[in-house]
Amino acid sequence: MIQPPFLKKGDKIILVSVAGKVRREPVEKAVQLLEEEDYRVQITPNAFGRFHMFSGMVRERASDMQQALDDPNVKAILFARGGYGSIRTLMLLDWSGFFKHPKWLIGFSDITVFHSFLTCHEVASIHGVMPSFFFDGGVRTESLNMLLNLLRGKSLSYRIPGDRLNRAGIAKGILIGGNLSLLMSLRGTEIDLSYVGRVLFIEDIGEYDYHIDRMMMNLKFGECLSRLAGLIVGYFTDTKSSNTPFGKSAYEIIQDAVSGYDFPVVFGFPCGHELPNFPLVMGSEISIEVTEEGVLINQSF
């Protein structure tokens, strides 16, 4: 596994919009904060572009991302937001310059596309907050502080309370995953993930309960779940019931899907489309220990 170098003062961070259109205010506030942290920060030329639901036409988005990938002085690429459109951007990119000078890619939600690509190419990346999650009520978030500490090389160690749906056990493996809907959209593609011996993290937003069941059944029928070493379940935010209720919550649906296996399962990990939004390093080894007293999760670098 390739791990990009951690950041030091004076390093260059570039902000890129590869998917949905972006509001200027949170991005500019993020730039100011990162500069106060002694980083050099650049916003790509088309970051605030507009083309229907996207932040510019796909070739504009790809041009900006290509610039970020190819610049050997850039040490981290921070995505301005998710939304939709990453897959269209990804398909136009040449990664040869990036592999010569790997750098941290940071984001979540639609950015799962990039995490999956990098995991398949054995490069670590960060599932972490983007500019709209830097502040809460005008105050910088603890999730942002965690991200900055990680970028400086601090290992991750989380202790969280137990959940009645958890399954006890100990596991270690490469961390994969991200947004469940995006993982489903990549099934059958060249960046469909290997689940063998891996620890899977999933989260989602705005999905109908039966959609969640359908996605979990895909993973089950596709023999992905049976091959896992462990499962971490983050937020399932604003899930919806259809006209005829499904009869189970998102967490209960997931618990049912994995009920026939014996790997440890963590519910309620604070990561996804809410705050706090703890960072995780995708494509890197993670250890989880689940007991009745609580959960311990570690990633060391």
CATH number at residue 34: 3.40.50.10740
Q: Do 210 and 275 have their domain in common?
A: yes
Q: Do 122 and 237 have their domain in common?
A: no
Q: Do 92 and 225 have their domain in common?
A: no
Residue closest to 233 by CA, chosen among 165, 298, 158? 165
In a domain, residue 191? The reply is yes
Count, residues in the chain: 301
Query: Which residue in the block uniquely carries the two structure tokens 């989880």?
Result: 288
pLDDT recorded at residue 8 = 97
Domain stops at, among 115, 136, 154: 154
pLDDT recorded at residue 132 = 97
Q: Do 21 and 116 have their domain in common?
A: yes
In a domain, residue 6? The reply is no
pLDDT recorded at residue 71 = 97
pLDDT recorded at residue 155 = 98
In a domain, residue 4? The reply is no
Query: What confidence category does residue 33 fall into, taking pLDDT thresholds of 50, 70 and 90?
Result: very high
Q: Cβ(19)–Cβ(86) under 8 Å?
A: yes
Q: Do 16 and 146 have their domain in common?
A: yes
In a domain, residue 5? The reply is no
Domain stops at, among 136, 154, 172: 154
Q: What is the pLDDT of residues 199-255, one digit of tens each?
A: 999 999 999 999 999 999 999 999 999 999 999 999 999 999 988 999 999 999 999
Q: Do 148 and 27 have their domain in common?
A: yes
Query: What confidence category does residue 85 fall into, taking pLDDT thresholds of 50, 70 and 90?
Result: very high
Q: Do 169 and 136 have their domain in common?
A: no
pLDDT recorded at residue 154 = 97
Domain stops at, among 131, 154, 177: 154
In a domain, residue 32? The reply is yes
pLDDT recorded at residue 256 = 98
Q: Do 182 and 116 have their domain in common?
A: no
Query: What confidence category does residue 276 fall into, taking pLDDT thresholds of 50, 70 and 90?
Result: very high
pLDDT recorded at residue 24 = 96
Q: Cβ(235)–Cβ(273) under 8 Å?
A: yes
**Could you tell me the CATH number of the domain that includes residue 173?**
3.50.30.60
Q: What is the mean pLDDT of residues 143-167?
A: 98
Is this structure's pTM higher than 0.95? Answer: yes
Q: Do 130 and 165 have their domain in common?
A: no
Query: What confidence category does residue 290 fall into, taking pLDDT thresholds of 50, 70 and 90?
Result: very high
Query: Domain tally for the chain?
Result: 2
pLDDT recorded at residue 146 = 98
Q: What are phi and psi for residue 278, nearest 5 degrees?
A: -70, 140
Query: What confidence category does residue 289 fall into, taking pLDDT thresholds of 50, 70 and 90?
Result: very high
In a domain, residue 1? The reply is no
Q: Do 287 and 182 have their domain in common?
A: yes
Q: What is the pLDDT of residues 103-125, one digit of tens each?
A: 999 999 999 999 999 999 999 99
pLDDT recorded at residue 57 = 98
Q: Do 50 and 67 have their domain in common?
A: yes
In a domain, residue 89? The reply is yes
Q: What angle do CA 74, 75, 81 make, to 5 degrees?
A: 85
In a domain, residue 2? The reply is no
Q: What is the mean pLDDT of residues 134-157?
A: 98
Q: Do 124 and 185 have their domain in common?
A: no
Q: Cβ(140)–Cβ(148) under 8 Å?
A: no
Chain-wide mean pLDDT for the chain?
A: 97
Buried b (16+ CB within 10 A) or exposed e, 55-93: bbeeebbbbbbbbbbbbeebbbbbbbbbbebbbbbbeeb
pLDDT recorded at residue 44 = 98
Residue closest to 290 by CA, chosen among 258, 250, 249, 253? 258
pLDDT recorded at residue 53 = 97
> Residue 24 and residue 275: Cα distance in Å, rounded?
21
Q: What is the mean pLDDT of residues 152-161?
A: 98
Q: Which domain holds residue 288?
A: 157-299
Quick one: tokens of 56? Answer: 């510019």
